[in-house]
Amino acid sequence: MSVLTLTRRGPLANTLVRHLAFAVLGGVVLFFLTSTVSAYRDFQIANVGYYVVAVAGLTVLTGLNGQISLGHGALMMVGAYTAALLLERDNPLPLVVVLLLSVAVTAAVGALVGAAAARLRGPYLAGATLAFAVGLPGLTSHYADTFGGDNGLNVLTGPPPERLGLDFPPERWQAWITLTAALITLVLLANLASSRVGRSFRAVRDDEVSAELAGIHVARTQVLAFIISAACAGLAGGLTAVVSGQVSPGAFSVALSLSILAGAVLGGLGSLTGAVYGAIALVLMPSISSSASDRFTLSTDVQHNLPLLVYGALLIVVMLAAPQGLQGGVRRLFGLLRGRAPVTSVRNESVTEVSVTDPER
């Protein structure tokens, strides 16, 4: 592991204070951003918000702890259906409580999956989580009376609070909800990554035997990473239910699991900043490629498949040009600008990324 010793002075030396300062700054920027853009952009930003939560959760699992999951779409589904069923009742609980319960329920499911996952490695782990993603949506048809089958459930979230004014766009309100959740998640995950727990995650990822020799309980650490990651997926799922106003199995197909992973890889595995890029790409790419296919009159078959094609092509280009994802590319660019040799090893790359905010290193 490449270790650079550095120290920091002043109030920003405290990790939590520094992360909170960034979050507040980001919140202010986003407040002005959401207040100036059109309702449709706010809707897209709301979508970015929950994707950030999901991708950040996965990037911690895969990038920091070295476990792959192709089942995060299904975990989002757990969170989304939890929120939908809770909001369906006559006197629904406050949204914050509903979302926290989504997190709790999904974390519990994540503990079960994680316990199994901790015994599996590489392709077996990928296969097991993939089976979870394939199988879970089928449950909705089995218990159609509760989950509404393929038809799904409507989610009533109500209009924005009245004190914001009657004409306040609901899309902006939803963007605020998901962005707040995203900022909180990012602060928590950034702190986690630079904490003792985060270091034990990386230790287990890099070498399980030496981690064990250092006194780290490997299986327990892996299950913990899975639970934290699942909790993020659950929150993201609850937020999708709120933004989309519905839950249905079609929204949580295997394609969702794969695109969350693609988002994490695209942004740069293990990097929380990369998770933000990845989430933006996940939202923008389909709409860019679909408007491109609208412009040129194409046959329906071509038009329908073009977004996927563009998506795949972009993934390949990014992987070729910036093997460490967009964030890796950005970092290398700044390195070049300052005349510094780029860091090349993938593993070191993700470590240094996290250690940016780690003063103890």
Q: How far apart are the first and last CA of the chain?
A: 12
Q: Which amino acid is at 346?
A: V
The string of DSSP letters for 243-298 reads HHSEE-GGGG-HHHHHHHHHHHHHH-TT-HHHHHHHHHHHHHHHHHHHHHHHHTT-
Backbone angles phi, psi at 217, to 5 degrees: -80, 105
Window of 59-67, 148-156, 211-219, 227-235 that interacts with other proteins by CB under 8 A: 148-156
CA distances from 277 to 62, 83, 263 (A): 17, 27, 8
Q: For other proteins, which residue of 111, 191, 192, 250 counts as binding (CB under 8 A)?
A: 250
Q: How far is the CB of 268 from other proteins (least distance, A)?
A: 11
Window of 106-114, 124-132, 330-338, 343-351 that interacts with other proteins by CB under 8 A: 330-338
Binding string to other proteins for residues 277 to 316, with x set by CB under 8 A, is what? x--x---x--x------------x--xx------------
Q: How far is the CB of 21 from other proteins (least distance, A)?
A: 10
Helices (H) and strands (E) in the chain, counts: 15, 2
Does residue 38 bind other proteins (CB under 8 A)? yes
> What's the CA dihedral at 23, 360, 277, 328 to 10 degrees?
160
Q: For other proteins, which residue of 2, 146, 154, 344 counts as binding (CB under 8 A)?
A: 154
Window of 57-65, 195-203, 245-253, 316-324 that interacts with other proteins by CB under 8 A: 245-253
Place of tokens 């799904």: 152
Q: CA 37 to CA 110: how far, in whole Å?
A: 37
State the CB neighbour count (10 A cutoff) for residue 128.
17
Does residue 191 bind other proteins (CB under 8 A)? no
Collapse the DSSP code of 268 into the 3-class scheme (helix H, G, I; strand E, B; otherwise coil) and give the result.
Answer: coil
Does residue 146 bind other proteins (CB under 8 A)? no
Q: Which amino acid is at 339?
A: G
Which three-class secondary structure string do you get for 220-255? HHHHHHHHHHHHHHHHHHHHHHHHHCEECHHHHCHH
Window of 149-157, 205-213, 224-232, 312-320 that interacts with other proteins by CB under 8 A: 149-157
Place of tokens 């940016």: 356
Does residue 149 bind other proteins (CB under 8 A)? yes
Window of 28-36, 105-113, 124-132, 230-238 that interacts with other proteins by CB under 8 A: 28-36
Q: For other proteins, which residue of 43, 132, 173, 201 counts as binding (CB under 8 A)?
A: 43
Does residue 39 bind other proteins (CB under 8 A)? yes
* 211 vs 349, beta carbon nearer other proteins: 349
Task: Check: CB of residue 166 under 8 Å from CB of residue 36.
Answer: no
Residue 355's closest CA among 56, 6, 17? 6
Q: Which two tokens stand for residue 334?
A: 């700044």
Window of 25-33, 105-113, 194-202, 203-211 that interacts with other proteins by CB under 8 A: 25-33
Binding string to other proteins for residues 44 to 83, with x set by CB under 8 A, is what? ----------------------------------------
Burial class (CB in 10 A: 0-12, 13-18, 19+), 153: buried
The residue ranges that bind other proteins (CB under 8 A) are 4, 6-8, 12, 22, 25-26, 29-30, 33, 36-41, 43, 137-138, 141, 144, 148-152, 154, 156, 159, 170-171, 244-246, 248-251, 273, 276-277, 280, 284, 287, 300, 303-304, 327, 330-331, 334, 338, 340, 356-357
